[in-house]
Each structure stands twice: as structure tokens, then as C-alpha cells.
Chains A and B, each alone.
Chain A
Amino acid sequence: MYGRAQKIIYAVFVIAVIILGWSLDNEYYLQLLIFIGLNTLLALSLNMLMGYAGQISLGHAAFYGIGAYVTAILTTTYNVEPILALPAAVGAAMIVAWIVGIPTLRLSGYYLGMGTLGFGMIIHILFREWSSVTGGASGFVGIPPLEIGPLIFDSRRSYFFLVWGVVLLSIIMCRRIIDSRVGRALRSIHDGEKAAAAIGVDTKKLKVQVFVLSAAMAAMAGFLYAHLIYFISPGTFNFVASIRIVTMVVIGGMASIWGALFGASLLTLLPEWLHAFSEFEMVVYGLILMSVMIFLPRGLTRGVIDIYYRYRKSHDK
């Protein structure tokens, strides 16, 4: 039954993506949906680390940035094909995650938060100050569009399908990991690291592995972002961006794959809708996030499911 429900959800998701992709002609809406897709990837990547394994990262935008900058530098400065830059971008983020993860993931709780925060800041400063390579504070211009063989992703519609295809694959991959032996071990680390170790889970190794996976997914999002906008600047990958990813995970629902999608959607759409409030935009934005956390403390996904059950219960009586 569980498997069937999953299949229906996947089917709905795929059909929704296809219908939206074909029917929408408005560039603005397509762009918005592409951004939701990229943010979903980011939220999904952090959710594996934070929601499932229980390890907080306040520097996740750094991996997003590494993915974007590596492909920008390779494709523009060195004229590498974008498709060849992809493994380099993702690989670079994985190597950095591995090197940083081994000492940092020994920390836990607030201290891990602090450690990753510091890491994020260092990478952000690197993007901003290493002007000869990264273009510095004014950004990196002239990134070419993404070409894969004969396919050129230079229209919004084609990019929409590309990004959501990657999102779908990532969701399937995460789902499979979570339902596997390794996924159970990840959740056990979240509940009790010592207990997990006592039953034979190599907690240190597993934490670094999930950190590396998470960095790879974030770098993938960064790669897609760079070839979408053709221009990147350090501000996109700063501390606030890291916090936004954390917020998406928490608002959407920790340890929930679809929660990443809901959280990313809400946080991408809210600022657009709230333009109407002009100078009060940020106030309303903050109030909405606060209300979600007060009334749906377990995030949108669990919250909506709980409300549904409560509703059904009250009707059964």
C-alpha cells in the first residue's frame, strides 16, 4: 500500500511537471518554477544531512557556490565544455566536503553549527576576494549556456525540463537511500549516536559520507544555476543563502523528501507574492514563517497530514 501511494505521488508529480512545462508560455513563471526546482535540490541535499542524519550545516551555500564557480571558471576562462565541467564542479564540492567534514563532523549540536558557519564564510570571502579568478565582488560574467551534445538549453522551457528532470532523479535517489540499510543507519544517528555505534554503525564514516553526498547535490544545483543565469556573484552564496536553505528544510518538514519541495516552493514564491506589501514585505514574510512554525511545528508536510487526520477523525464521530 505504501509503495502504491508513492507511485501515485510520483505520477502526479511527473504529470504536473509535463503539463506546466508545455502549457506555460510566460517566461517569468517558467523562471520562477526553475528557481523552485533549484531550491528544491538545495533543500533536498540539506535534508539528507539535517533532516535524516541530524547534522546541521549553516554553510551549505558554500557548496552551491563551489558548483557554480567551478563551472563558471572552467567553461568561461578555460573554454571547457559545460558537460565536462559538471563532474569537475560536483567533484570539487565533494572533495572539499570530505576534507572539511572529517574534522568538522566530530562536533555536534551548536558547535557543528558554528563550524559549518565559519566554513561557509571562508568560502564566501574566497569568492569575493580572489578577484583574478572569481571576478571578485562584481561577479563573474559571460558564462555560456549549457550544451549536451546536440541539445542546447538556452530557452526557459528546455531549462525547466532539465532542472525538474534532475529534481525528479534526485528525489528518487534520496528515497532509495532513505529506505535502504544505510538510510536506517542515518536515522539511527539522528536518534542516538552512541546507540547507533553500539549496534555497529560506523557513525563517523557515515556522517562524512552523507555530508559529501549532500555537497554533491548542492553543487549540482550551483552548476545548473550558473548556466541558467550566465552571471554569478558572491552575494548569492553568502551566509543568508545558507540560512535560507536551512529555513526551507525546517518549514517544509525535517526528514521529509516532499517537504523539501514544499519548503522550497513556499520560500521562493513568498517574496514574489509579498511585493504587494512593498515596504512591509519583510515583516509579513517573517510573520508567515513564524506562524508556520508555531502552528505546524513539524513543518508543512507533517502539519498538513496531521490536519487531514484530525479532520477525518472529527468527521468519523
Chain B
Amino acid sequence: MDTFAVHRSDFEQFSTLQLHGFLDAHTAPELEKHFETLISEGRYKIIVNFENLNYISSAGLGVFMGKIENVRNNNGDIKMCKMTPKIFRVFDLLGFPALYDIVDEEERAKFLFEKPSS
């Protein structure tokens, strides 16, 4: 079953990972690889677009927790956008909105990179 896909696009200093399908213990290593590639290329301004993600479990959440420190230590961040209510509920249940910027649109995420206090 091909249940998860990541589409990457780069624009100037930003890299966007668009997630599709189901992010669970089976598919989380795939997302981890994408983060490792970005980090190895020195691309630390990362936007994750959740628009087409249908499901997330703690294995998926663990990928973000596992990378955030490295990314922030390099003056970057992982910003999140376009979450469906179902996905947002899981993030919210665990208090993740206190740790990550979760916004409606990709443009807003880019804006926050440039003006973090806004």
C-alpha cells in the first residue's frame, strides 16, 4: 500500500514539505529522511503543509520533535500550515501549538520567518 508521500519544493531560502496520506509508525521514517536531507543541505527554514495529510499518530509527531532542536540551533524553524481539524486536534491535545507556529496559509508561515515577533 502506497499510503504516504512527501512533495518537496524550494523557494529562495524556504523549503516546503507537502504531506499526503497517513503518517504513522510505518511511514514516519520516510518523513524523517526528508528532514535529514534538508538538514544535510543546510536548509533550515522548513514549512510543512498538512493540507493533504489524513492521519497522524505519535510516531509522526515524533519526527518533528526529533528535528526541531537541530533546526532551531541553526537559526531555522519548522512552521506548520493548512492543518485539517482532525490533525490539529492531535497536535492540540498534546500542547504542540505552544512549541510550533501553526498557521492557516503557507504565505503566513514565510512571513513569520521574516518577522518572527508578528
Tell me, yes or no, whether A binds B.
no
B: which residues have CB within 8 A of A?
Answer: none
